[in-house]
Structure formats: C-alpha cells, structure tokens
Amino acid sequence: MEIEKLFKALSDPTRVRVLLLLSQKKLCVCQLQKILKLPQSKLSKHLGKLRDLNLVVGYQDGKFIKYELSKNYFLENILVLVKESKNLDEQFQVDLSRIDKFDYLIGDVQ
C-alpha cells in the first residue's frame, strides 16, 4: 500500500468515520448509511476507495453486504491515534450513539 494514498484516504472525514465505526463492529451499507446520514451513492464511493486500498472488506451475509476492517496492523494503530483526537471526539460519540440503533435493518439481535 502506498503511504500517500493511505493518508489521502484518511484525510476525508467521512472515510475516517466509516473506519472508526467498522473498528467497533461489522456493518452493512444500510446501517452505515443511517448512522452517517449519507446518501447510498456517496457512501458507496467512500467504501469503494477504502476497498481499493484494502482498508475494508465486504462480504455477502444473506441479502446484505457487510463490511469490516481489513487485518492491517498499521491501520489499527492509526485508528487508535484518531480515536484519541479531540477533533473527532464529538462526532465519533454521536456516531457511536447510533451504531446499534439500526440493527433491525438486517435482523441483528445483539
């Protein structure tokens, strides 16, 4: 992975929010869309960029495509630093407060 491409991907707040959410649990596009309050087309573009860099992987789970973080030690360490950032703290807390709210969309009971 080219480091410049990684940091360019991480320079977008929406992609960072997606990565932070996926660091908490596996989510489908419909859940991410509701949590982030984004149109599906915009979210899909962000997920595509993250997939292209092998930062996330998607897999079929019934009729849904769920996403999770790729196994990437470098990314995991970056996300630890990002989680400690004061700039993202407030938005991340809002996103986290909604993370389980949309499990009904895919029938998850956790």
Query: Could you tell me the residue ranges of all domains in the chain?
Result: 3-98
The DSSP call for residue 2 is: -
Q: What percent of the chain has pLDDT over 70?
A: 92
Enter the pTM of the model: 0.80
d(C-alpha 110, C-alpha 22), whole Å: 16
Q: What's the average model confidence in pLDDT over 41-56?
A: 95
Task: Fold for 3-98, please state it.
Answer: Arc Repressor Mutant, subunit A (1.10.10)
Q: Which one, of 36, 34, 40, lies nearest residue 15 by Cα? A: 36
For 18-40, the pLDDT digits (tens) are 999 998 899 999 999 999 999 99
Which of 38 and 100 is assigned the larger pLDDT?
38
Return the pLDDT at 35: 95
Residue 67's DSSP bridge partners are 27, 58
Q: What's the average model confidence in pLDDT over 69-95?
A: 76
